[in-house]
Amino acid sequence: MKTTTLGRMTLVASAALALVGQLTTKAAVLYDSLGFTYNNGADISSTAVWHAQSFDSGSQSQLTDVTLNLYKDSAGSGTYFVELRNSVAHGETTSPGNTVVYTFTSSGNIAGLGTANDGTLGFTGLSVSLSADTEYFIVVGCSAVSAGKLIWGQSAATGQPSLNDISTDTGSSWLGGFDGETLRMQVEAVPEPVNVAMAVFGFGAALAAIGRRIRLRTRS
């Protein structure tokens, strides 16, 4: 009986460790349009023009990775910014709000980007808190354009759980989120660490209970 119980305890411990490993390392993809076929590009050739694409946080609460299909034309130079913003009601749809939840970069170098239309720019290893089941927008614009333009790749895909939006006055007003040509990006997130800690605590309590049963049976 002792060997059988110990064997079960070992199996439970192994399963618990495997599950905790998944909880702590595996990110959920909240939105992914990078796999959609490239159609054209949304040009950002002045500081007035900003572009945005939305995503929903779902049950995840910590943003970890964002990848955007950003590139430049052959003459592109200047600086750009990438922000995470809240969403606000805009008639029957939504648009980026004025609250900057997180700044991925405020002075990215346009000249440092590639010219291939499938080029990507990634921000990884992030730890940005999100509210569950909440819509956010990734906003891209230029803080300075010396020459040429910055381009955010688009797909012709429609009917996506995400909205595209445009501002032509440095974010003072927006056209209003629409299901048009989708700006290509991927967003990943994981549960908040406290949730993982609670899961670990639960596994630990279960293993402790099994240990007590082993000791009781051994004494008897």
Residue 213 lies in a domain: no
pLDDT on residue 216: 54
CATH number at residue 145: 2.60.120
Residue 128 lies in a domain: yes
Residue 157 lies in a domain: yes
Sign of CA dihedral 52, 57, 60, 61: positive
Residue 170 lies in a domain: yes
Cβ neighbours for 162, distance < 8 A, ≥ 6 positions apart: 31, 33, 53, 54, 55, 56, 182
pLDDT on residue 163: 96
Higher pLDDT, 131 or 195: 131
Amino acid at 87: S
* pLDDT tens per residue across span 104-128: 999 999 999 999 999 999 999 999 9
Supply the range of the domain harboring residue 181.
27-192
DSSP 26: P
Sign of CA dihedral 115, 120, 124, 129: positive
Which pTM was predicted?
0.79
Residue 64 lies in a domain: yes
CB of 141 within 8 A of CB of 49? yes
Select from 45, 47, 39, 54 the least CA-distant residue to 72: 45
Pairing of β 185-190 and β 62-68: antiparallel
Residue 178 lies in a domain: yes
pLDDT on residue 162: 94
Q: Is the pLDDT of residue 38 over 70?
A: yes
Residue 19 lies in a domain: no
Q: What band does 151 get if pLDDT is binned at 50, 70 and 90?
A: very high
User: Into how many domains does the chain fold?
Assistant: 1
Would you call 112 helix, strand, or coil by DSSP? helix
* pLDDT tens per residue across span 54-90: 999 999 999 999 999 999 999 999 999 999 999 999 9
- As to burial, measured by CB atoms within 10 angstroms (0-12 exposed, 13-18 middle, 19+ buried), residue 202 is exposed
Q: What stretch of H or E contains 5?
A: helix 2-25
Distance CA 93, CA 118 (A): 29
Residue 51 lies in a domain: yes
Distance CA 182, CA 195 (A): 33
